[in-house]
Amino acid sequence: MHRTLFLLPLASLLVAASAHADVVAGWTIEAPVPSGTSGPEYSYGAAEQGANIAGSDLNGLHANPETFWISPPGNGSQYSFGNNRWTIGDYFQVEASTLGYENISISFDQCRSSSGVEFFTLLMSTDEGANWTTLIDSYEVLRSGGGGSPGTWSASADRNPIYLVEADAGAMAADRESVWFRMQAVSVPGSAVSSISRLDNIFIEGTVVPAPGALALLGLAGVASRRRRR
């Protein structure tokens, strides 16, 4: 009897611990893109926080070689990651290892200028771009500030939750050497030159994969519980 009473609380603690989501890799854009940065592609670099920072990357690719990569005000913070000259197929992308984690999800804040791309798709690859899975077929990017916008994205105000986009990545993304998430434009901007999109507060999250010993304890606790009920 004493042994059963000990195992059941332990099992409950293990389940509760596994249900807590941790930041695997997160970009809050703490430093600006160097002034005057232009070109078809750019890598902002590794995540600033999370368990799997090593090898992570925030980057983007545009068809237009005259694209400018910029750091306009963030959503409740000093900087965000942005660019102009959008066309269909251009994208933002984040890459990180999810080794040691399951129940992977991604969330980020995204907004656009009045002439920016309105619709994006969210894609995921677990084989470095050889194959892609669609997580969100089409999501709307809200305009920030000015007439007709639903809200304001500002560095001088609190983070505005209306710009949040989030998705579950499914079992495919669990415990992988590398997972890529791509935010890709699927609609034509109002103006290529002035079409600006911004990203901020990008987080890949997951729960720790239970160690084999923890799984064995959970199984033993279940057996003990069944015996107690008998």
Q: Which of 120-134, 142-156, 171-185 has the lowest mean pLDDT?
A: 142-156
How far apart CA 86 and CA 120 sit, in angstroms, is 11
Quick one: which of 85, 219, 106, 110 has its CA closest to 168?
106
Instruction: Determine the distance from the C-alpha atom of residue 8 to the mean position of all C-alpha atoms in its chain, rounded to a whole number.
Output: 35
Which DSSP letter does residue 159 get?
P
pLDDT tops 60 at residue 123: yes
* The predicted structure's pLDDT at residue 148: 76
pLDDT digits (tens, 9 = 90+) for 36-83: 999 999 999 999 999 999 999 999 999 999 999 999 999 999 999 999
- The structure's pTM equals 0.85
Separation between Cα atoms, residue 101 and residue 71, nearest integer Å:
31
Class of domain 25-206: mainly beta
* CA angle centred on 96, ends 94 and 99, rounded to 5°: 155
Q: So where are the chain's domains?
A: 25-206
- Residue 151 confidence class, pLDDT cut points 50, 70, 90: confident
pLDDT, residue 17, reads 46
Q: Is 162 left (phi over 0), alpha (psi -120 to 50) or beta?
A: alpha
Q: How far apart are CA 110 and CA 217, in angstroms?
A: 43
77 DSSP 8-state letter: S
Residue-wise pLDDT tens digits, 175-216? 999 999 999 999 988 876 778 999 999 999 999 999 875 544
